[in-house]
Amino acid sequence: MSLTLTDQDRPELRKAIEEMVESGFTGVTMRVHDERGEWVGSAGVRKLGETAKPPSNGHVRIGSNTKTFTATVVLRLVAEGPIALDDPVADHLPGFGLDPRITVRMLLQHTSGVFNFTGEYYDDGTFAPGIPATTAGQEWVDNRFRTYRPEELVRLALSKPARFEPGTDWSYSNTNYVLARLLIEKVTGHSLAEEMRRLILGPLGLSDTVAPETDPEISEPHAHAYYRYEDTGREKTVDVTRQNPSWISTGGDMISTTRDLHTFISALMGGKLLPAPLLAEMCEPHPKVGYGLGVFVQDAGENGGTVITHNGGMAGHAALMYSTPDGSRTLTAALNYVDDAALSMGEAFQKATQRLVKEVFGGGQAGAADAAEAAR
């Protein structure tokens, strides 16, 4: 049984999460498993206007951590045989007019070139908008309970020019993972949520992790998420904890806890979910940005070695998930904050995550102002 350490036992971790709150996050809960046992701490508030801290194992919308769960389901199906990594996706999903060169592997690694339905940022600084929900502002607030079908998101993306020819470059696209969802559902005849329960959630006992599809609710306990926007010249901040997550779909809709995220990433990296050859494929990084199949493969800094990670943000909620390649040391965290169209918390998020990685995996004592590359 792991030992839960008090805050006083790890003052460097306590300081790190307190500095995250000082940088603008409304609340932070972090869980670390390493050779010293388990440490759990929280800072900030559960809800604006109140004093209670975020719950130690509260539910949180995990954003793009969803991609790691989804990629694991796909790779389990590869192991079971109905699909292969180098299958053309169009063979399984013939109704979308997909480029026949796009393979299952390209979806998982973001090398398909398909347009990102949440909008594309180009190298010259221009932005091509996606679905109306992601143009942000009051429009998103007013429509946050609308239902989007996965097929709707895919067809919108495929109506836009591809970023590049399949397999020739790398670009992060939520569309890849909505296609992965449709692929899973086509080859199994079951919903992604059902396959997730069969292959991951059930075997690992992840009772606090769900793929909510269109359900706007999030189970108690949880911290609150906020969105800030301009309305007739005045700034408004609204609680957006309840929202229909179908607008992001499998790009980032799941709900979990720091404990379940630890259990998942530790089991995945420890070889309990995938055969060794497929786990190795998952953690083989693309040379451009170090992205494998549903995970980032990153350098933890001096003496830190390699970490396997995926982070995610989802309209005022965010989650962090890091592990050593063998699953023996993990860091998971739940964040709540006030989001906005300008993504004002982006820089603080990058700096904070880099600080935490160095503290937990790289020998620590890193400055909070260190620059970092975003892990989406």
Residues acting as catalytic residues:
64
Whether 112 and 157 have beta carbons less than 8 Å apart is answered as no
Spatial CA neighbour of 231 closest among 131, 314, 141, 339: 141
Spatial CA neighbour of 271 closest among 332, 312, 323, 209: 323
- DSSP at 87: S
Backbone angles phi, psi at 31, to 5 degrees: -130, 125
Spatial CA neighbour of 253 closest among 204, 210, 295: 210
How buried is residue 261: exposed, middle or buried, by Cβ count under 10 Å (0-12/13-18/19+)?
Answer: buried
Spatial CA neighbour of 49 closest among 224, 217, 218: 224
Spatial CA neighbour of 289 closest among 165, 162, 349, 374: 374
Spatial CA neighbour of 131 closest among 118, 140, 149: 118
CA 350, CA 240: separation in Å to the nearest integer? 23
* Tokens representing residue 17 in the block: 């999460």
Give 128-134's long-range contacts (Cβ < 8 A, gap of 24+).
128/160, 130/156, 130/157, 131/156, 131/247, 133/247, 134/247
Q: Is 71 helix (H, G, I), strand (E, B) or coil?
A: helix
Taking CA atoms, 255 is separated from 211, 213, 335, in Å, by: 7, 10, 13
CA 343, CA 307: separation in Å to the nearest integer? 26
Q: Residue 305, Cβ neighbours under 10 Å: how many?
A: 12
Taking CA atoms, 259 is separated from 11, 40, 95, 178, 202, in Å, by: 21, 10, 40, 26, 15
* Tokens representing residue 361 in the block: 């995996």
CA 362 to mean position of chain CA atoms: 22
Helix (H) or strand (E) holding 33: strand 27-34
